[in-house]
Structure 1
């Protein structure tokens, strides 16, 4: 079935079309969910919630742009919504990048990252504190600017920058420790 037919079927609440959309995109969307979740169970829950949201809002897709891109935005926004719900736990350190002097940025060209499997790297990203992980994913993987991230998460732009730098440094430390125990 062609993508436009699948979308139209989903708009008519056709279960077969919904199943086909799920089967076609679940792997990619699960990858997004894993990046924003602390474990596979949480990612699976996010995946299910995301597809429910996709099917409930499918009528708002106007066949402009990529359907997959539209879905990705839903999944990222849902992940961010979950993060915002937990914001009362103080996920972000409100400090500007200028105040960060205690972080030793390790040269990324160590080559160690190339020796990691995708699963090993994903596990390390999942182990990052939630605030670091969300900013790291949005900036490094989803390609949002720090200004956009600050608006999405309700934090200062400088906080977004500092969280990214801290996440990157922590990740590089994890990679170094993994290979040089």
Structure 2
């Protein structure tokens, strides 16, 4: 069974075998997305399962016409949006984010750091988990999921300038954490 045939079977008749195939095939992918937002393994598991429940309920809305060889990539992106939105809803329900005062673009420093070629995904994930929740969430939405600052501000119900500020802080903190983990000193 292919992912495409499973999605079509699930959309047409709610086939349980198709749902099981989709779940097993995409579980790790969706779990990785939810783990980028929450630190707690139990919460990530719950969010992952909730993502699949919502996906199965809305699978008929996934537009799969004329995708051809892009089907799997498109379906995974659709699933990723669902998982990210569920994770954001969960975080929003946990607590309200504190809005910052507007910060001008001139106050935001831009620094570059050369990254070593031996930085692995696991290392990046460990660094991301050390960020404060709001910074990690905005970093994930903007840098990983591809949302704009305007979209982030709507999703998190914060000013656009706050999104920019927290992203800048997240990048700065990640640089500091990375440099500390590699014992590199920078001229900050």
Common fold by TM > 0.5: yes
CA gap of 1:62–1:104, structure 2 versus 1, over 3 A, is: closer
C-alpha distance in 2, partners of 1:55/1:167? 34
Structure 1 residue 99: Cα displacement: 8.1
**Partner of residue 77 from structure 1, selected from 85, 88, 91:** 85
**Which whole-Å deviations, capped at 9, do the CAs of 1:24-71 have from their partners, x for residues lacking one?**
212221221111111333222211111111112212223256222221
**TM-score normalised by length of structure 1:** 0.86
- After TM superposition, which residue ranges in structure 1, 4 or more long, deviate above 6 angstroms? none
- Please give the alpha-carbon distance, in whole angstroms, between the structure 1 residues aligned to 2:113 and 2:26: 32
- Long gaps (5+) in structure 2: 68-73
Q: 1:23 to 1:168 in 2, by over 3 A?
A: same
Q: Name the structure 2 match of 1:67.
A: 75
Distance 1:105 1:174, change over 3 A: farther
CA contact (8 A) 2:99 2:159 kept: no
Find the aligned partners of 1:62 and 1:105 in 2 and give their Cα distance: 40
Residue 147 of structure 2 corresponds to 144
**Range with greater deviation from structure 2 (159-168 or 33-42):** 33-42
Q: Is this contact kept in 2: 1:104–1:169, CA < 8 A?
A: no
Question: Separation in 2 of the partners of 1:153 and 1:77?
Answer: 10
Q: Unmatched 5+ residue regions in structure 1?
A: none
RMSD: 2.2
Q: Residue 135 of structure 1: which of 135, 138, 141 is its match? A: 138
Asked if 2 retains the 8 angstrom alpha-carbon contact of 1:100 and 1:162, the reply is no
Corresponding residue of 2:127 = 124
User: Contact (CA 8 Å) 1:106, 1:172: kept in 2 or not?
Assistant: no
Structure 2 length-normalised TM: 0.83
Residue-pair matches, total: 176
Residue 85 of structure 1 and its aligned partner are, at CA, apart by 1.0
